Amino acid sequence: MNIEFQLNNKNEMIEVDPSRRLLDILRDDFGLTSVKEGCGEGECGACIILLDGKAVNSCLLSAGMIAGKSILTLEKFNETDEYKLIEKSFLEAGSVQCGFCTSGMVMSTAGLLNVNSNPNETEIKEALSGNLCRCTGYQMIIEGVKLAVEKIEKEIPLVKSQSRKEEKNKEVPSKQNVKLQRKSLVEILNILDDRDVTIISGGTDLMVKNAGGSGVKPKFKNEPLFIGALEELKQIKLIDNEIHIGSAVTLNELLVNENISEIFKKSISEMASFPTRNIATIGGNIINASPAGDTLPFLYAVDAKLVLKNKNNERMISIKDFILGPGKTIINSNELLTEIIIPAKIYDVNYYKKAGSRKGMTLSKASMIGMISFENNLVSDVRIAFGAVASTVVRSRELEEKIIGKTNQEAQSVYFDICGEYEKLIKPIDDSRSSKKYRKDVCLNMLRDFFVKFDK
Ligand SMILES: Cc1cc2nc3c(=O)[nH]c(=O)nc-3n(C[C@H](O)[C@H](O)[C@H](O)COP(=O)(O)OP(=O)(O)OC[C@H]3O[C@@H](n4cnc5c(N)ncnc54)[C@H](O)[C@@H]3O)c2cc1C
Ligand code: FES
Ligand code: FES
């Protein structure tokens, strides 16, 4: 397959197997060795590059996902004034020892500065959440980035940085010259009707599940079909008090959308790392139907509806009827998940907790979402859902209804009763990450915590 894209400000066209990892293409075909391979699974950040200005893990991208896109690696970024100040700051702050992680750290920093020119320490930590360093120590790297932010602000003032951007844009050959080579929704649905394919959206799950190792292309079950760049699947619209989210909307796109509630954003912000969230999609998370899928507790809690399309028809189904068990859904092979519909309602009290061993980069051991609304001092609505502690999300409308219509004080009095009932529904498993007793205890503690929170 011929793929056209921009690499370090130059138009390129390569004939390539669309499954090949971008990481291998950059290193082996273009000799861009600043792009390192650490883990090959999206965990270490050594392979981070900028894709259309956003930091992403090149080990999680395949050739088919870069058609019409711009890629920037350290080999070109190091010509900028911004890079020179980052380099100087890293040296001053002692942010480098062996240097293996450094190009990934620098590209993550560049990605951060593209969206936030004056990040605080929390935002810096968040942007570097997907970068591991085995020797320097993170504080020195964070200090290096803080210093770079100060220097860039002082030495490249806004006016200059604006004209710098314009200058940079002048150098870039027009993206219009790069053919987009992307299929339309109709073409995708025709292909799904015609043959068995492997749908790839963000690819963050499939690239890891089907990885062949360094330099070896991932082996997908069927011909890969890339849907992640489809404009029709990338919209977020508010229609009649409902939010329609395209299935290829990425987790980070949800995080910056004004229609998405803060509590949904909280659960998303604790998923994966910043660069992985730049490519991972909500649709992929749902179709995986993993008991530990972190968008699911919220989507179950709000009774999300899913739109499934094939060549001739469309159907809508609630998420609880869509997911049958771990990795199992009712989607047919000729269907595409196109849209997720959630109510725009905001609750008065919102609670979300995820237990995992490393924030954002680990599968949930247990999670809980709780939302409650009051009207005239009575509970008018309540939603409680637990993730990762049964084959699918645990939610019981029957138990929620025991709280509805009660005053706050009355609601507190049914806590023990409800807690006992949830204890029966929560059926975690023992595995290498934690015991079922730990998981159950954590859930019941979260439930207690939620009741305490709305009692205030
Ligand atoms: C380092 C790392 C950390 C992670 N951390 C978390 C985490 O904290 N929490 C969490 O929940 N997940 C996590 N994940 C898993 C993964 O990133 C998410 O599940 C992500 O949302 C998957 O989306 P995707 O677009 O990348 O899926 P893909 O890999 O593209 O697809 C996943 C599955 O969905 C199918 N599919 C995708 N879109 C559609 C569609 N529109 N219609 C029909 N089928 C479709 C694909 O065929 C495939 O079977 C992590 C993954 C990595 C690599
Ligand atoms: S090689 Fe580790 S994140 Fe890509
Ligand atoms: S400096 Fe050695 S891994 Fe970070």
- In short, whether 37's Cβ falls inside 6 Å of ligand 2 is yes
Considering every ligand atom shown, identify the ligand nearest to the alpha carbon of residue 35 and give its number: 2
- In short, whether 327's Cβ falls inside 6 Å of ligand 3 is no
**Assessment of whether the complete model's pTM goes beyond 0.75:** yes
Report the separation in Å between the CA atom of 406 and the middle of ligand 1, taken as the mean of its atom positions.
40
Q: State which of 57, 126, 189, 204 you would mutate to test the pocket of ligand 1, scoring each by most atoms of that ligand within 8 A of its C-beta.
A: 204
Structure tokens at 431: 């595995």
- In short, whether 38's Cβ falls inside 6 Å of ligand 2 is yes
Structural domains in the chain, sorted by start:
1-180 (3.10.20.30), 185-343 (3.30.465.10), 349-455 (3.30.390.50)
Considering every ligand atom shown, identify the ligand nearest to the alpha carbon of residue 137 and give its number: 3
- In short, whether 136's Cβ falls inside 6 Å of ligand 3 is yes
Q: State which of 33, 35, 59, 277 you would mutate to test the pocket of ligand 2, scoring each by most atoms of that ligand within 8 A of its C-beta.
A: 59
> What angle do the packed helices 102-115 and 138-155 form, to 10 degrees?
50
- pLDDT per position in the chain (456 positions), as tens? 899 999 999 999 999 999 999 999 999 999 999 999 999 999 999 999 999 999 999 999 999 999 999 999 999 999 999 999 999 999 999 999 999 999 999 999 999 999 999 999 999 999 999 999 999 999 999 999 999 999 999 998 654 455 445 445 444 455 666 666 678 999 999 999 999 999 999 999 999 999 999 999 999 999 999 999 999 999 999 999 999 999 999 999 999 999 999 999 999 999 999 999 999 999 999 999 999 999 999 999 999 999 999 999 999 999 999 999 999 999 999 999 999 999 999 999 999 999 976 655 667 889 999 999 999 999 999 999 999 999 999 999 999 999 999 999 999 999 999 999 999 999 988 887 788 899 999 999 999 999 998 887
Residues 49 and 56: beta-carbon distance below 8 Å: yes
